[in-house]
Structure 1
């Protein structure tokens, strides 16, 4: 196969990226498009339209993911690519979008050049990859791979809204989100394109990152319950200040991160104080934090240490604490075969590349439990991400999309990609069933 023919249409790709980015929340900073928001709904309709324009058969699976299918010569277990189109509050234009539009552009170029893969190609816009107010992330990929549970759908946000109810209001079927999908059947492999979201590639002057592993992520929500009192009349030595206890936890989390091995990090990202008045001693505080590392042993140890330290410090302040942990994903190595095939494709295209881990979580972490999976990174200017200043040059994105096409082509030509989940040539019938409409 002549992979040079699969180079993307640079101007079309760049135009699509900015057209999609403009579908954002008007009163929010940056390019905000949070899961279940109206701009997110509009973006999903836009993506479905672009998939159809590219010649894909489009459906929404029971998990709420948008799936475009390009039939291959022999069908069977499909190749999969994709990412997400939701953003964090105040996010940028490139995180996630590059992988979805890159996959659509690969499908376009395959059709335009008359190139047909042996396997079906699925391009997926996964539902709600970013962290959400319900103490979770990667909703669509977790649901598609059978990881999402009824307990997850019962989680509530700070206002008491239940995730399952919010999904229903968005037009999804919570029961359907718990049923098997295409991702629980044999898959030939998964390859995701993404911006790095860090500074390594730019600092080293290298154009491509071949991801070796995705960090494990453990999060906790701590609820500190003290006692509200008048701030002017309650003595300092007679207070049960929930915010003071939470503040000590912030410093404890920071100490753990600073003392951690390798590139492990620890972050407190959300703090809510009740009743939230300067003349009232805080009686209740909620703190959300997370730990990330390639070292699963450290992640397991930090959970035990942090619980003991928070309990001790809170007791010193006369405050009770409840801690609810969630494991976003354990440390996930990418598939060595996919790494080798992708790096060989990079060499064929004459691209500079390096092997590197991902410090961010991705849908690929959940697909890796179902099939051989890998990731491609392109540089991020100054390493900035999850902010309006997030930027990747158009030629860097085009290079990443070209490598995505070449990598998928190499995976397609392999009879097997070390797939432990069943023979890759197995006929599985129609994969896109149980579709759901959005209101």
Structure 2
């Protein structure tokens, strides 16, 4: 959500920021619609005041036994009462129109975000780890995974494409990864664990920016709720419509949840394997803080996600996303991309974003700075710490052996009940 006053006061600045996103100027259209709304609101207030004053005047005329004047004023009041409902509806309609325009516009990029059209213009910031030298040709997890319990066929028969069932030791490896991530984020990195709702109402998704633009990417239930595409929705909305006490900030939340995405915009992409599923698990990280802390909190969250990859000894690179590749709600995003030997490339495994006050405005989430009477909007941040399924793929491919087995990373040993290797059946 954008501050309409900032758009009115600095339309050129707003349009210049939109241009970095590849969008046409919108300030004139927004300001014109808002001026219409304000004019109607002003006229409504004037007419309401006139009605109230006229009502008093009727009483005064009646007290003075001036029936002719009282009748004339009554006629004026009747006309006003007839017009007021129409004006109230006009105000609601124009307010909704301005709000709809603002809700459809993505967040403005931070000054240090590189301008670009798509992922080809992202900037590599750092690399960690060295890809393994195999003495055999590494295979795609979709080819050797079924022999160790990655069941695509059985899942497809019951649910269709982009679903998988994990069976036996590979299911335990998936669980081990999730528990290791959650334990690390709650223990080492001091995020508060939350077990949140998986079904939410419209306003929660409006708050974090998935609605109204990305409805086709979501699963809608018959009772009007939505399955969450990420725990970011549930965790961030924990502060909606609140004034959060300053001494409780920053808030840091984490959750291990299933996530549900229709993948409407990914036709033809990653149709094989476990990379892009309709249902998957993810350990989400969310931070809520005052504006002056959000940049440091962003770096802290990135480090928390990197720590998981480093502990698993998975090579990765850190990318600063350009304006054309950032998500709708983000003002600055770092992606972590893990090395996949079968593809001989890095693939996204975590996206960590600073949303500034964009989501907080949509949720009306505020705090009161020390020594100030007025409230200010909070800053919100979110990221994956990590996507469990994609981490499983990275472990399978980077730790695969020539005989089709997979060695278990040492850091997961205590979660695996003595299992040190996944053997093909």
TM range (shorter): under 0.3
Quick check: which has more Rg, 1 or 2? 2
TM-score by length of 1: 0.25
TM-score by length of 2: 0.25
Query: Which has the bigger relative contact order, CA under 8 A and spacing at least 6?
Result: 1
Larger relative helix fraction: 2
